[in-house]
Structure 1
Amino acid sequence: MSRDLVFEIGTEEIPAKFMNKTLEQLKEVSEKSFTENRINFKSLETYGTPRRLVLYVKALDEKQEDLETELKGPSKKAAYDAESNPTKALLGFAKGNGLSLENVYIKELSGTEYVYGRKHVSGIAAKEVLKELLPEILTSISFPKSMKWGNKSFRFARPVRWLMPIYGDELIEFDKDGIPCSKFTRGHRVLSKDKVEIDRAENYFDILKREYVIVDQNERREIIQKQCEKIAKEKNGVLIKDEELLEEIVYLVEYPTALLGSFESDFLKLPKEAIITPMKEHQRYFPIENEKGELLNNFIAVRNGDDSFIDVVRQGNEKVLRARLSDARFFYEEDKKVSLDDCVEKLKHVVFQETLGTIYDKTRNIMNNSAYLADCLNLDRDSKNKLDRAAYLAKADLVTSMVKEFDELQGIMGREYALVQGEDAKVANAIEEHYMPRNAGDAMPASIIGSVLSIADRIDTISGCFSIGIQPTGSQDPYALRRQAISIINIILDQELHINLKSLIENAIKPFYNKGIIKAEVSNVIDDINEFFKQRLRNVLLDRRYDYDVIDAVLKTGLIDIQDALLRIKELSDWKSQQDFLSIAGSFNRVSNLAAKADSLEINGELLAEKAEKELYESYTEVSKLFRDAVEKRDYYNALKSLMLLKAPIDNFFDNTMVMVDDKCIRRNRLALLKNIESMMMRFADLSVIVVSR
């Protein structure tokens, strides 16, 4: 027999951004708990609204499964004396596990006979297990930020006000710090009566829906989406979709009702983003645009309730947005009166980081890094001039009133003000693009100027922080350096840029060296930053589904050029899928194993006495030129193809030549030959770490 279980944790409003991961965690913890406690069930799901977390289990067995375990005891020799009488070791084993001597038996394990016994544990009623299990589930949930209240012994996102554990039609009663367990829940805070009784678990969702609470977040999401799309269509508009905003609204309401609002068309003279940002970030409204992508003077809000007094609600939302847009218009008009050049001067009084200096100092560093990158990438003179101007103005909008009020608009308003003041469109766009990507999944900079500027800004932050010893440790990363490095990597790969990473780091670190603020040896800081990028690149490539051993084979040779590393990884991945690669990987593995013993690269031709070693040396001399030419052209297909020519000579050498001979000179010479082959191979990858499946 089985029954449904509903366990509702009633709380004060939980922050919407916590909900998704909390529900995933609740599900994972609950599934593990039921499995470990041997209680079978058909399905388990978790649901949430702003003031409740819900665990719903369908067809939960009424009794634990019985447990049959085989227990291993002492060896037969230790369990019985010479007269076959049980020893203290056997008696202790039997007593400790509740076994009778008649139920023990002998079984061989790895050539030794041991005493074993079977123990049967009968399962107990599920409702008794739930009394212990549900409180444990409650206290096992963790949050990014949690709190304690009253005299409670555990922490939670917000105070827990009630618990409602119902198994079938039966209340599971337990005491957790005096929080009441009952069959009563709460409906909608405004539209429902104070307490609502749930008679049976399977009636839970329907009863709450009658009390204006839609417990299933997926159902709420679908309702919101359909209502908003319908309203937009009725206005001959298109809803500007935003999954993050939709997700947040889903967990802000229990009974969603979308409504259309409007604002004066005169506000449309503002930059589009200056209207959308207050709508989305501050008021949680969906903007609407026409088929041409032009913003309409309408918005869609989602109310937590039904359509009662909807006009009053609409007017209230319109009034609030009107005030926000009026502020934005005022800031915009005032900001236009001040030139961006004057704004740059104000950056001298804005601290970026206490030790690293001001935003103006950072601007100078960005200009330096941009100029360096422009030379590396051979940008034309016009592009260099535009890049230099964009670098100078990149942070200017940080001191504008608009960005101070709506910090989400940094870069965006810089672009707008640059265009208003007659700057070149490429300069203006680069100012915005240098913040891209703003987060995971965001768009990359489209232009080469924007891409270079973004890299220049981020490498300055990373180099500065490492210089003064505030690099990430564990989960701590206050300046988001991991994300900054990943952004640099993705921009480089997206634009297919060939940049010497170590040289870039050396250039970026110079201002901090000149200021005398570097807290460690410069070479060590540079190596640390390089290693930091190597780990981030490895993670990026793993996310792109490249094999870990292929990535490690290339990165083990060092990280100089990120794009070049990707090209080698791509080529090596293609070769790894071919059967012929099995043989060459094995051959080079043998080379690497012995090359590690070499102490010199100098080969004495006169000491090459054996036919096999002469042939290997001749093949190496021929292949090394082919390989070097291919690598210089980044023709990695032919580079690997040339290495294949060494397979037969290498195998023949190992089959017919003893490397570790007594004669030190000959041994050293043969090791040097292998070391030269390995060094050549290492210009492409360390093939010895490739895992080849047979």
Structure 2
Amino acid sequence: MTFTQVNMFSTPRRLALQVQGLAEKQADTQEEIKGPAKKIAMDENGNWSKAAQGFVRGQGLSTEDIYFKTMKDTEYVYVTKQTIGKKAIDVLPGLKEVLTSLTFPVTMHWNKYDFEYIRPIRWLVALLGDQIVPFKILDVTTDRITYGHRFLGNAVALENADVYEQRLAEQYVIADHFKRQEMITDQIQSIAQENNWQIDKDEDLLAEVNHLVEYPTAFVGDFADKYLQLPDEVLITSMKEHQRYFEVKATNGELLPHFISVRNGNQTKIENVIQGNEKVLVARLEDAEFFYQEDQKLSIDECVEKLKSVAFHEKIGSMYEKMQRVQEIARIIGNYVDLSTEELADLQRAAQIYKFDLVTNMVDEFPELQGIMGEKYALLKGEKSDVAQAIREHYLPIASEGELPLSNIGAVLAIADKLDSVLTFFAAELKPKSSSDPYALRRQTYGIVRILANKQWSFPFKELQEKITRTINQNVDFYGIHLADQAVEVRHFLKGRLRQFLLAQNHRYDIVEAVIDAAQEDIHQLLEAAMTLNKHLNDEDFKSSIEALTRVMNLGQKDHSTNEVDPSLFENETEEKLYQAVQEIEDKFTSQTVEQNYQDLTKLRPLIEDYFDQTMVMAEDETLRNNRLAQLRKITQMAIAVASLNDLVTK
């Protein structure tokens, strides 16, 4: 059925759709349907076969409705099926199936029913104009009666569907979540302007608060100045994560002893609401202050020692053992990416202690502060600022597209920590499944790719993986786990996340596949290859160059020998010219950038075209054939080290 617009409404107590301009009935339809061939539909005597009879019966028609049409010199049975559209009032009771088929991340059941839903269904309103659309879910039958605000409103009968939003507003329910959000934003902004305050607009918190209320009223609460001695992150977490409060700052960004919250109601007895919220927050801040003071009595070494009894995973070992592995992984990576002597020393210190805050009281109470409190406490205990920063940054990125580590040692520690998780969970046969990833290995590996892309570090993953595996497996008792032979599977998993990253960067699909299929294990080289190919897509000679190299690769990939090219077997000048050009590229190939190698390979195009014009690669003489294939194999090996260029679409 046709309509002009759908309005969506949601509050903590209701979900609603309002369809405007709905047609009174479905449109009548006429559909031409093809059946079996005439020779199947009729016998030699002109009688209708069972196939023809079954066909028309399935369409609700008879053989009298059959006619024939010719397609590609064959006659086929056709019928024209006309369907009379149903009235809207007859179709809409099907909403029951729509409503009961909705799925939610979390469901519940109530009363004696086995049926599960996001919340118990208390009432149903279904109206077509002023008519009730009749259906029933469990023991609730559709009606025109809806209910207002839980404390301020009353039941109200809707005379027709058009007045839904207006009647609810009269009962202190702002059904449109966009309008509620605008009200909250305006009220907070008004408070901020009146007091010359700065309020950081947290979109996630705003959305959460918006969906907790039906009639929003913003208000200001206060807490004692003494709590400002706590780190800002502790105060903000106490307010935002636990109480859904907006923190208040001065215009210079300094945190102030106030908060803004949003009540589900009006201004009536707002003072009592403010006092209640202040009391709850103060209780949390008292706990936080106590934990903060108690944590400072602990030494970092004591905390690290406690990690021996903290499990990372029962099949993998303790958090302490993870830290020992990460120290070694970080050292290997740090040396490879050419960190300075001072950076390597700071990296080793950070890796020795980077999880110590997990056993502090503050992180136990506020898990979201792990890493953040590690940095705070490390500075209080006299650790270098670079070490403390790396402790915080090793968790980054927290979300797929979240903030990345800024410092080099923070980036290496983050890679090492995430890589250890991937290697050990794969070794313990706890790898992600298609439908689940309980240990967030996809997100962590995607984070590794993003960090490497940001830092532009060379990262030959196969080589590093082999070195890490050898080191860990030499002392299994110390490191807690043997890294089983999952090397190929882990590399495939990493390339899967690289594919995800490149697609997110809007690289063309064939470019992504060409890069992923490259005979190249260095992540940086693969990222550079994608950028290079994308850069040259619109070059005038791109199509002809790729087609020439593809022709070479299609033949060169067939040669699995290790034969060297013998110039004495050349029969024409084009073979010699191509050979000399390839030799020049080979001599500098490993020391050049991807861009330079791409340029050198594409410059071979005229030589390759002349070569194929004058040379029969698949010669009858086996010696000549093998020599020519060896020549093409050399070009192929260089080309595929950049990307699997024959995957590119050049049409």
Give the equivalent residue in structure 2 for 1:219. Answer: 179
How far off its partner does 1:74 sit? 2.3
Instruction: Give CA deviations for 1:113-165 in whole Å, capped at 9, x if unaligned.
Output: 11111010100101111112x01211221111223334546431222222111
* Match among 200, 205, 208 for residue 165 of structure 2: 205
Give the equivalent residue in structure 1 for 2:68. Answer: 106
The alpha-carbon distance between structure 1 residues 469 and 47, as it changes in their structure 2 partners (threshold 3 A), is same
Kept in 1, the 8 Å contact 2:546–2:602? The answer is: no
Give the equivalent residue in structure 2 for 1:542. Answer: 503
**Aligned equivalents of 1:57, 1:83: Cα separation in 2:** 56
Give the equivalent residue in structure 2 for 1:566. Answer: 527
Q: Does 1:690 align with 2:651?
A: no
Give the equivalent residue in structure 1 for 2:541. Answer: 580
Q: Does 1:625 align with 2:587?
A: no
Match of 1:372, SS state, is helix
**TM-score, with structure 2 as normaliser:** 0.95
How far off its partner does 1:543 sit? 0.5
Kept in 2, the 8 Å contact 1:557–1:685? The answer is: yes
Match of 1:162, SS state, is coil
Match of 2:259, SS state, is strand
Kept in 1, the 8 Å contact 2:316–2:481? The answer is: no
Instruction: Give CA deviations for 1:457-504 in whole Å, capped at 9, x if unaligned.
Output: 111111110111101011221111111111111111112222222233
Q: Does 1:674 align with 2:632?
A: yes
Q: Does 1:90 align with 2:44?
A: no
* Match among 665, 672, 692 for residue 623 of structure 2: 665
Kept in 2, the 8 Å contact 1:365–1:511? The answer is: yes
**Aligned equivalents of 2:15, 2:69: Cα separation in 1:** 50
The alpha-carbon distance between structure 1 residues 521 and 355, as it changes in their structure 2 partners (threshold 3 A), is closer
Q: Which moved more, 1:182-191 or 1:659-668?
A: 659-668
**Aligned equivalents of 2:329, 2:91: Cα separation in 1:** 64
Instruction: Give CA deviations for 1:175-232 in whole Å, capped at 9, x if unaligned.
Output: 2322221111121111112x22111111000100111111111111111111112212
Kept in 2, the 8 Å contact 1:365–1:460? The answer is: yes
Structure 1 residues 252-651: aligned runs within 5 Å: 252-509=212-469, 510-511=471-472, 514-515=475-476, 521-522=484-485, 525-605=486-566, 608-611=569-572, 614-626=573-585, 629=588, 631-634=590-593, 636-651=594-609
Structure 1 gap segments, 5+ residues each: 1-38
How far off its partner does 1:51 sit? 1.6
CA RMSD of aligned residues (A): 2.0
How far off its partner does 1:606 sit? 5.9
Give the equivalent residue in structure 2 for 1:45. Answer: 7
How far off its partner does 1:429 sit? 1.3
Kept in 2, the 8 Å contact 1:75–1:115? The answer is: yes
Match of 1:291, SS state, is coil
Give the equivalent residue in structure 1 for 2:146. Answer: 185
The alpha-carbon distance between structure 1 residues 639 and 127, as it changes in their structure 2 partners (threshold 3 A), is same
**Aligned equivalents of 1:558, 1:319: Cα separation in 2:** 63
**Aligned equivalents of 1:202, 1:508: Cα separation in 2:** 67
Structure 2 gap segments, 5+ residues each: none
Kept in 2, the 8 Å contact 1:70–1:118? The answer is: yes
**Aligned equivalents of 1:526, 1:102: Cα separation in 2:** 69
How far off its partner does 1:610 sit? 3.3
Q: Which moved more, 1:507-516 or 1:344-353?
A: 507-516
Kept in 2, the 8 Å contact 1:623–1:645? The answer is: no
Kept in 2, the 8 Å contact 1:279–1:321? The answer is: yes
Give the equivalent residue in structure 2 for 1:129. Answer: 91
Match of 1:213, SS state, is coil
Kept in 1, the 8 Å contact 2:577–2:607? The answer is: no
**Aligned equivalents of 1:97, 1:481: Cα separation in 2:** 52
Q: Does 1:71 align with 2:30?
A: no
Q: Does 1:233 align with 2:233?
A: no
How far off its partner does 1:604 sit? 4.7
Give the equivalent residue in structure 2 for 1:11. Answer: none
Kept in 1, the 8 Å contact 2:215–2:266? The answer is: yes
The alpha-carbon distance between structure 1 residues 692 and 286, as it changes in their structure 2 partners (threshold 3 A), is same
Kept in 2, the 8 Å contact 1:165–1:171? The answer is: yes
Kept in 1, the 8 Å contact 2:520–2:642? The answer is: no
Give the equivalent residue in structure 2 for 1:17. Answer: none
Match of 1:199, SS state, is coil
Number of aligned residue pairs: give it. 648
How far off its partner does 1:394 sit? 0.8
The alpha-carbon distance between structure 1 residues 663 and 154, as it changes in their structure 2 partners (threshold 3 A), is farther
Q: Which moved more, 1:84-93 or 1:53-62?
A: 84-93
**Aligned equivalents of 1:678, 1:474: Cα separation in 2:** 34
Q: Which moved more, 1:581-590 or 1:668-677?
A: 668-677
**Aligned equivalents of 1:252, 1:541: Cα separation in 2:** 38
How far off its partner does 1:607 sit? 6.5
Q: Does 1:57 align with 2:19?
A: yes
The alpha-carbon distance between structure 1 residues 58 and 617, as it changes in their structure 2 partners (threshold 3 A), is farther
The alpha-carbon distance between structure 1 residues 628 and 189, as it changes in their structure 2 partners (threshold 3 A), is farther
Kept in 1, the 8 Å contact 2:323–2:355? The answer is: yes
**Aligned equivalents of 2:315, 2:63: Cα separation in 1:** 75
**Aligned equivalents of 2:104, 2:463: Cα separation in 1:** 42
The alpha-carbon distance between structure 1 residues 659 and 494, as it changes in their structure 2 partners (threshold 3 A), is same
Kept in 2, the 8 Å contact 1:67–1:121? The answer is: yes
Q: Which moved more, 1:487-496 or 1:589-598?
A: 589-598
How far off its partner does 1:621 sit? 3.2
The alpha-carbon distance between structure 1 residues 48 and 627, as it changes in their structure 2 partners (threshold 3 A), is farther
**Aligned equivalents of 2:606, 2:54: Cα separation in 1:** 66
The alpha-carbon distance between structure 1 residues 552 and 392, as it changes in their structure 2 partners (threshold 3 A), is same
How far off its partner does 1:628 sit? 5.0
Q: Which moved more, 1:86-95 or 1:458-467?
A: 86-95
Kept in 2, the 8 Å contact 1:659–1:667? The answer is: yes
Amino acid at match of 1:56: Q
